[in-house]
Amino acid sequence: MPQGQLRTLQDCEDFIRGCTLFGTGGGGAPSKGMKLLSDELAAGRTPAWIDLDDLPDDAWIACAWGMGSIAPSTPEREDKMKAYGLGAWSVEKNLARALQELQEYTGRRLSAVIPLEPGGSNTPNPLAAATSLGLATVDADLAGRAIPEIAQTLPVLAGIPLGPVASVDLWGNVAILRETHSVPMAERIGKHLAVAAFGHTGLAGFLTQVKKLRSAVVPGTLTRCLAVGRAIRAAREQGRCPVDAIVEATGARRLFTGVVTRKEWQDQEGYMIGRSFLVAADNSGRHMEIWFKNENHVAWLDGKPVALSPDLIMVVGTDTGEPRTNTELAEGERVTVLGLPCHPAFRTPEGLRLLGPRHFGFDIDYVPIEELARQVEGDAHDALG
């Protein structure tokens, strides 16, 4: 029996809202995720998920995900695409095609698919792909938050091989990455495929048997996303504060409420890299700066770190509770920044090597968000006298 189902468009909207929240500024475009799920409903299929324990140990499972920059398109890129004769997408369900290519190449018949991460499209996309192929989707993911690099996942920490990997872009260019020197090299090659495809490609990998994956997942992801998305909507409908609803549903900490004054970014080697700048809404003069590489990874409050990757840094509309991706976040928006502890595996030395602030080039030692919050509260108390 399914653990959860998306029977209506409202279910899909709620689900994607929760996915986008845990996408920490990245995880793909919610609008794309909504289209993929609504297409499945229109075709008479019901996106659903099961618990990993519902599958036998010897069943084969694979991960499917999108790779590329979340940066907005530019006129220059559109012109280059036209020069290559690239118009409308010819393979809109490229994740489904990647899963098929992986099965054909390896000769393994899949029983289920698992999302790589939470995100506005990177969770709905594999769910829709599995639904269209008649495969189960597992109520779990491989990181507990959106991440910019495939090395930053629990299977990598557990030593589960990534390859072979099938890649299919939106125009039907297919590649099989049979083996690579390392997972970071696989990331680099995958990113180059995405850059060649003018932004995005769909991949399928981490093909393994369920018994090997059981200890290398974050369970309950899809159920959690649906529940939080519903809680945000219900709060709005009932006239309650939607940010309060997020805090109650997730245990997140409020880090800052303010207005976006500017955002600086560049599309660099297949990643959207930049900074968002905020000033306090209460005219106190306090300010926050957030550095992102697709997702949010370092937040400074008045120049001091207040949240550090791998912990989750989530930006939502203060009045609506709607999660904001770094692609969409715009100057003048009134937002609240929330923080949430990461999966414990990423607080180990090896986990921090993959996803800590030093991995991203910052000379900052990781401090858990719980401790940073106490330091900030202590500073505020001292300032009040």
Read off the DSSP letter of residue 269: T
How does DSSP assign 98-153, residue by residue? HHHHHHHHH-PPEEEEEESS--TTTTHHHHHHHHHHT-EEBSEESSSS--SSTTSS
State which amino acid sits at residue 100.
Q
Domain range list for the chain: 4-219, 251-384
This prediction has a pTM of: 0.92
**124 burial via Cβ count (<10 Å: 0-12, 13-18, 19+):** buried
Read off the DSSP letter of residue 279: E
The pLDDT, as a whole number, for residue 38 is 97
Whether 221 contacts 144, CB under 8 Å? yes
| Maximum separation of any 2 CA atoms in the chain, in Å | 69
Token match 């845990």: residue? 22
Structure tokens at 151: 């090395």
CATH fold, domain 251-384, is: CV3147-like (2.40.390)
Give 284's Cβ-side CA count (13 Å radius). 15
The domain over range 4-219 is classified in CATH as 3.30.2290.10: no
State which amino acid sits at residue 289.
E
The pLDDT, as a whole number, for residue 381 is 35
**83 burial via Cβ count (<10 Å: 0-12, 13-18, 19+):** exposed
Nearest alpha-carbon partner for 141 in 214, 219, 53 = 219
Tens of pLDDT along the chain (385 residues) come to 568 999 999 999 999 999 999 999 999 999 999 999 999 999 999 999 999 999 999 999 999 998 876 566 677 777 787 887 777 766 778 999 999 999 999 999 999 999 999 999 999 999 999 999 999 999 999 999 999 999 999 999 999 999 999 999 888 889 999 988 888 888 888 888 888 888 788 999 999 999 999 999 999 999 999 999 999 999 999 999 999 999 999 999 999 999 999 999 998 877 899 999 999 988 888 999 999 999 999 999 999 999 999 999 999 999 999 999 999 999 999 999 999 999 999 999 999 999 999 999 999 999 999 999 777 655 543 333 2
The pLDDT, as a whole number, for residue 383 is 34
